[in-house]
Amino acid sequence: MKNIRSKLWISITALILLILGISWLFQVYFLNDFYINAITNSLVDSGKEIAAIVEKEGIESENLSEKIHEVASDLNGRVNIIDRQNNIKYNNLLAERGFKDLKILGQKPHRELERFSFKQDLYINRLIQKKDGKDIVRHLNVAVPIKKGDTVIGNVWLSSGLSSTNSITFVLKRQLSIISGISLLVGTILSLFLSKMFAKPIIKITNATKEIAKGNFDCNIDVKGEDEIGILGNTINKMAEQLSQIETFRREFIANTSHELKTPISLIKAYAELTLDIEGEEKESREANLKVIIDESDRLTNMVEDILYLSKMEAGYYDPTTEPFIVNDILTRVIDKLKYFAKEKNIDILFNYNKELFIEGDENKIFQVFFNILNNSIIHSFKNSEIQINLLDNKNSIRIEFKDFGSGIPKEDLPYIWERFYKVDKSRKRNKSGTGLGMSIVKNILEAHNYAYGIESEVNKGTLVWIEVKKS
């Protein structure tokens, strides 16, 4: 029984059988006691109501006759009122036969009433008859005290004959058998329908997860509803989308990494072969070739280090050690290190600040962040332009801005600028100044520090990269 539809059908059918079994048990075994207790409680409640009328309005009250007639009709019973000396003051049967003046009963009880006697407290009597070894209650008698102040002055006696509960039980058994059969048939068909309805989305989800496990992330689960199954289906759809994005990213990463690694490796090989072909004392050519080999080796080393470093951060193994430092000094060091490359393009770097400002963070990693941003700004700035670095002391934060006046970034590319190897220029032109991982490293370092950051750009007008650090 591996099919979930079969499990649901059997479970629902079993529940129906359980409910029918409990109903049968109640009807057969507990009906007699329930019936007798219900009649007894009705007699006691009615007796208390009659006693209250006698206490309040007296034995001659019209309300009393109406109430007694109502009770006798409803319970198919008899009502008698007696005093402390066992004198019958009222009998509903005699009253119905035309005896208006009940005093004619005098001091002598009627022969049908001889079993009644005065009781000080509430009294319940059940007349039991033996039948087939079982005790069967045939008659119920209840005496309810009538009080005047704190003194009991008489009783309301109520009696009711009980119909044979055996015959009632037999009829109910037959009735219940028919009802149970019909209920079981309807319940089985209904449970089959419900199990199919409940199992259908689960089967869809199961089939979809199998496809996802095979690597097919384009499958979509069409499950409607806002219940747990609907939420599960939507969650799996989102998971498939994310896995598809991860798979796309993986392929692009392998392609980009292969491309980026292939370039320096090819150059190293080519210049090594050229160096082997050089004959005699051509020292300058040999040194030029070896310099290219060394430069490309360094570039290859830097790229591998960046990949390993970025992977470490994205895996959650980087936990920055924070300490306060002067942000002005870090920015000055970065400018000094990159001013040579800016000078090659005749770019002026303007550092604007009013005072020295402290921030808390990992000083070496923040240096790398500023270095990567400024390096990007130099690469994408037009010749004979400028780059502005603004250090702003706001009320609740310190803001660092890098603004260049260069080629800019199209609006549709801005959300992806922080991804690995992402290039606005899709031609994959080799850039000797970077590895394609700089902005991705910047993003991971800033997020590890909980710094806010962002980028604004306009094509052919320039780019603004900003960082905000909350004041402690």
What single string gives the DSSP state of each residue in 387-434? Answer: EEEEEEE-SSEEEEEEEE-BS---GGGGGGTTSTT--SSTT----TT-
Return averaged pLDDT per consecutive 10 residues of the chain, 472 residues in all: 70 80 73 80 90 85 82 81 83 63 44 64 77 67 89 88 64 76 81 77 82 80 75 83 76 65 71 71 73 75 72 70 91 91 92 92 89 90 94 92 92 83 56 64 88 92 93 76
DSSP-derived secondary structure letter, 261: H
Beta strands 386-393 and 397-404, pairing class? antiparallel
Q: How far apart are the first and last CA of the chain?
A: 63
> Which helix or strand (DSSP H or E) is residue 127 part of?
strand 123-131
CA distance 306 to 321: 20
Q: Which residues contact 308 (CB under 8 A, 6 or more apart)?
A: none
Bridge-partner residues for 151, per DSSP?
148
Write down the pLDDT at residue 106: 43
- Number of helices (H) and strands (E), helices first, in the chain? 10, 12
Q: Is 324 helix (H, G, I), strand (E, B) or coil?
A: strand
Q: Is the C-alpha dihedral spanning 345, 346, 352, 356 positive or negative?
A: positive
CA distance 186 to 173: 20
Question: E strand or H helix at 44, and its extent?
Answer: helix 31-57
Q: Are 158 and 194 contacting, i.e. CB atoms less than 8 angstroms apart? A: no
- Please give the domain boundaries of the chain with CATH numbers for all domains: 4-171 (3.30.450.20), 228-314 (1.10.287.130), 323-470 (3.30.565.10)
The closest alpha carbon to 199, from 3, 2, 13, 1, belongs to 3
Number of Cβ within a 10 Å radius of residue 286: 14
Tokens standing for 146?
Answer: 């009538």
Q: Residue 109: what pLDDT?
A: 46
pLDDT for position 104:
40
User: What is the Cα–Cα distance from 158 to 11, expressed in whole angstroms?
Assistant: 50
Q: Report helix, strand or coil for 124.
A: strand
Instruction: Please give the Cα distance from 102 to 111 (Å, whole number).
Output: 15
Considering only CA atoms, which of 340, 418, 407, 344 is closest in space to residue 377?
407
pLDDT at position 249: 67
Cα–Cα distance between 140 and 125 in angstroms, integer?
A: 6
Q: How far apart are CA 379 and CA 441, in angstroms?
A: 17
221, 235 contact by CB (below 8 A): no
Decide the pairing of beta strands 386-393 and 358-361: unpaired
Contacts of 434 (CB under 8 A, 6+ apart): 375, 376, 379
pTM comes to 0.46
